[in-house]
Amino acid sequence: MAIVKMKRLRLLGLRPDRERLLRALQSLGCVELREPAIDLSDPQWAGMAKPDPSGLEQAREQSLLLNAALDALRRYAPAKDSLFAPRPEVTEDQLFDEAAYAQGLDAARQVLEAEQALAAKGAERAKLLTQKASLEPWACLDVSLETEGSAAVPVHFCSVPGKTDFAALEAAVAQAAEPAQLIRAGHDRELQYFLLICHRSVLSQCNEAMRPFGASRVALRGWKGTAAENTALLDNRIAALEREEAQCRANLAALGEKRGILRQSVDRAAQEISREENKARLIDTDAAFVMDGWLPAGNAEELEKVLGGFQCAWETADPAPEEYPQVPIKLKNNPVTGPFNVITEMYSMPAYDSVDPNPLMAPFFIIFFGFMMNDIGYGLLMVLGTAFFLMKAKPKGGMRDMMSMFFMCGIASVFWGCLTGGFFGDFLPKLFDLTGSAASVPGYHDASGAFVWFWKPVFTPINDIILVMVGAMAMGVVQVFTGMAVSVEEKFRHGNALDAVTQEIAWYCVLIGAALAIGGPMIPGAPAALGAVGMGLLILGFVLLLAGNLIRAKGLGGIIGFGGDIYNGVSGYFSDILSYLRLMALMMAGSIIASVFNTLGSVFGLVPFIIVAVIGNVLNLVLNLLGCYVHTMRLQCLEFFGRFYQDGGKAFRPLAVETTYVDILKEEM
């Protein structure tokens, strides 16, 4: 359709009305705020400053709290939401209700406290399990862990690496000191444990004897009684902690009923953050504030009604040409072209004083996608699947646009499938052959009498390769010429008639003239003058190209520029049009892959045929969806947009109520 005309908004309001006015603008949803062009360091603006950011910090903290609580519920009380379940609907008054928001924050704190309690129990249990593991090697000894021996005969708890030859260790100690005894305990993956009992007079000799084996003391402070007794106590405490953890999980699961208010509160927090971020673009004094922004020209009356309820002064004005790079872009499209905004935004928004590409791109995108898919079965799955998703899930934003776009591409796929006779490739002929009903099925049969389709296909990708190739290139020529026509119109609109005549119009003459001069005599029954007309257009095109270069760069530079234009133009247009052969390649690839799967399954009988055909066609559909989407986008963004598109715009992002978990019911005014 068009790029929406925007107006600049300047507003001076009273400081006490600031929050209420921002809330009203958020509800209206048609004003994008920007920072006023004011240098606060300039003395003439003394007394003016940015708003206090504490509100934004608080809103972000509350958002983090609420989202953390939702994440905890996802882990411990997963929602049983249906994929296509509609989102709850609330009014704006319900969304911004302070009591409901306080309830959501309180619920978030309850969830996080329950999660923290569970984490504390888990940490304590992990600590006890570690302690239990440290006692296991000593469980076989009936020795109190606090035993230190006597003054004359000390007792030491020791360990050596697990690979140590314990017999050699015992022999070394026995040889070095007498009396001394090693009492072997248990072991784990890394160490062997034992008791060293010896007379104090030979303790140093024992230590020297054990040092080459890597022996070391084991500290078992704080334990009383044997390892087995302490292990039993630990088991009891661990069992109690497991019961407490189960109760904590049950408490978290019970808090799953708070999910609804938490989700609504997350959306409310998002509105607070958005409003506070926009408030940061204002300039304040002690008594007033300054606001600057943009709004669509069509919303000026609505804004006037809203601002009429406040004591403020404002003005709206059309942007000056020097402001065009700063004007945000909003595209006004109908239900057919609107879904293609998702592609335009992924590429780059158009400049404010340029053309909206969606109405031009949409028919080409749909036709090209359907041409490559060219299958009734695949197209019907796309149409039915996207229609079901749109009706049940009611998606918004980019997801809605994407599903709507694939819905239209599915219709185009059905159309091209009717021309080529594709229904999951050649599924029906193979099915009728296996069931023995091919001869009796009414419809179109080939020369051998085999069933082909219910009507005669206009063409088939495999048997009519030349026709498909010519058709793909013809569609490319149409799109390239359309892009050139848009460029001509834009150049005339901006007063660049000379460039339009000596560039796009000149190349129209060259390309059409060359086609007529070369191809005219080859057309049976064509007028003899057709070739002469083509040669005349070709010469006219060269003259216009040369004249344009001579005007722009006088003298020898114009001649050199003319040669460069010829080389770049011929190679550029030729390569661009050849790029459209990917339409043929994708059409043939999809048909051949489907046929291969169907043929492979038909070798083994009816049931294997159905299984293999279903699996193969599902995979082929997924691959085709990706391939057709990517290659169609490439043709639009490179071959088409490159002819006329002026990018560099930034999307219009007004202060508005935008939610994730709930839908807003618009109340009647």
pLDDT tens figures, 546-591: 888 888 776 666 677 778 778 888 888 888 899 999 999 999 999 9
In this predicted structure, the answer to whether residue 44 has a pLDDT above a threshold of 60 is: yes
Q: Last residue of some domain: 202, 219, 236?
A: 219
Sequence-ordered strand ranges (E) for 115-170: 155-161
Q: In this predicted structure, what is the pLDDT of residue 555?
A: 62
Q: For residues 511 and 277, give the distance between their C-alpha atoms in angstroms, rounded to a whole number.
A: 54
> What confidence tens digit (pLDDT) does each residue in 396-428 have?
888 899 999 999 999 999 999 999 999 999 999
Which residues form the domain of 44? Answer: 1-51+282-330+652-660
> Please, which residues have CB within 8 angstroms of residue 61's CB and are 6 or more apart in sequence?
none
Distance between CA atoms of residues 457 and 576, nearest Å: 30
Confirm whether 215 is domain-assigned.
yes
Token pair listed for 307 = 């601002």
pLDDT in tens, 322-357: 889 999 999 988 888 989 988 888 888 999 989 999
Percent of the chain with pLDDT over 90: 61
Q: Each residue of 240-261: pLDDT tens digit?
A: 999 999 999 999 999 999 999 9
Neighbouring CB atoms inside 10 A of 163's CB total 8
Residue 81 pLDDT > 90 = no
The proportion of the chain whose per-residue pLDDT surpasses 70, expressed as a percent, equals 96
Asked if the structure places residue 452 within a domain, the reply is no
Helix/strand/coil for 412: helix
Local structure of 568: helix, strand or coil: helix
Q: Does residue 430 belong to any structural domain of this protein?
A: no
> Mind giving me the DSSP string for 34-73?
E--S--TTSGGGTT-BPPPTHHHHHHHHHHHHHHHHHHHH
In degrees to the nearest 10, what's the CA dihedral of 658, 663, 668, 669?
Answer: -20
Q: Would you say residue 275 lies in a domain?
A: no
Q: Are 342 and 402 in contact (CB under 8 A)?
A: yes
574 contacts: CB under 8 Å, gap ≥ 6:
none
In three-state secondary structure terms, 5 is coil
Q: Tell me which residue of 461, 455, 407, 464 sits closest to 428, measured CA to CA.
A: 455
> What distances in angstroms separate CA 136 from CA 131, 186, 193, 577, one per listed residue?
9, 7, 10, 78
Q: Which residues pair with 12 in a beta bridge?
A: 290, 313
Q: How far apart are CA 574 and CA 569, in angstroms?
A: 8
Asked whether 160 and 210 are in contact (CB, 8 A), the reply is: yes
The CA distance from 96 to 27, in Å, is 11
Measured in whole angstroms, how far is the alpha carbon of residue 451 from the centre of its chain?
45
Please count the other Cβ atoms lying within 10 Å of the Cβ belonging to residue 103: 16
Residue 95 within a domain: no
Instruction: With beta carbons less than 8 A apart as the criterion, state whether 69 and 108 touch.
Output: yes
Extract the tokens encoding 59: 């809103």
Pick 450 or 195 by higher pLDDT: 195
- Looking up tokens 């996080």, which residue turns up? 112
The two structure tokens encoding residue 264:
């609504």
Among 6-10, 269-273, 560-564, 620-624, the range scoring the smallest mean pLDDT is: 560-564
> Comparing C-alpha atoms, which of 534, 13, 71 is closest to residue 310?
13
Query: In the predicted model, what is the mean pLDDT of residues 463-478?
Result: 93
DSSP state of 443: S
Could you tell me the CATH number of the domain that includes residue 180?
Answer: 3.30.70.2750
Q: Report which of 208, 287, 272, 340 is spatially closest to residue 22, judged by C-alpha positions.
A: 272
- Tell me which of 219, 253, 274 is where a domain ends: 219
Burial class from Cβ neighbours inside 10 Å (0-12, 13-18, 19+) for residue 198 reads: buried
* ω into 179 cis (within 30 of 0): yes
| CA-closest candidate to residue 325, choices 347, 346, 348, 350 | 350
Least confident of 33-37, 70-74, 277-281, 616-620: 33-37
Which of 215-219, 238-242, 405-409, 519-523 is least confident? 519-523
Residue 465 resides in a domain: no
Tally of residues, the chain: 669
The CA–CA distances, whole Å, from 127 to 130, 132, 133, 222 equal: 5, 9, 10, 15
pLDDT of 453 > 70? The answer is: yes
Quote the tokens at residue 538. Answer: 């070709």
Band (525; pLDDT cuts 50, 70, 90): low
- Provide the pLDDT for residue 483: 94
Residue type, 61: E
Task: Give mean pLDDT, residues 168-197.
Answer: 89
Distance of alpha carbon 215 from alpha carbon 522, whole angstroms: 99
Distances (CA, A) of 420 to 370, 417, 455, 588: 11, 5, 10, 11
Structure token digits, residue 235: 């088991």
Which CATH number is 315's domain given? Answer: 3.30.70.340
The overall average pLDDT reported for the chain is 90
Confidence (pLDDT) at 667: 63
DSSP 15: G
pLDDT at res. 669: 44
Number of domains in the chain: 2
- Tokens standing for 427? 């599924």
DSSP string, 321-341: GGGGGGS-B-EE--TTTGGGH
The DSSP H or E segment spanning 187 is strand 180-187
Q: What is the DSSP letter of 149?
A: B
451 has pLDDT over 80: yes
| Residue 61 located in a structural domain | no
Q: Residue 666, Cα to own-chain centre: how many angstroms? A: 29
**Could you give the angle at which helices 556-579 and 581-602 cross, rounded to 10 degrees?**
20
Query: So what's the pLDDT on residue 362?
Result: 94
pLDDT per residue over 594-612, tens digit each?
999 999 998 888 999 999 9
Q: What is the pLDDT of residues 135-178, one digit of tens each?
A: 999 988 888 888 887 888 899 999 999 999 999 999 999 888 87
Element of type H or E holding 464: none
Exposure string of 17-32, with b = 16+ CB inside 10 Å and e = fewer, is bbeebbbbbbbbebbb
Q: What is the pTM of this model?
A: 0.81
Residue 527 burial (C-beta neighbours within 10 Å; 0-12, 13-18, 19+): exposed
Going by the DSSP 8-state scheme, the letter that residue 350 receives in this structure is E
Residue type, 642: G
Q: What per-residue confidence (pLDDT) applies to 304?
A: 93
* pLDDT of res. 557: 66
φ, ψ dihedrals at 616, nearest 5°: -65, -40
CB 172 within 8 A of CB 210: yes
3-class DSSP state of 140: coil
* Cβ–Cβ < 8 Å for 197, 183: yes
581-602 vs 358-373: helix crossing angle, rounded to 10: 30
End-of-domain residue from the set 219, 250, 268: 219
8 Å CB contact between 3 and 350: yes
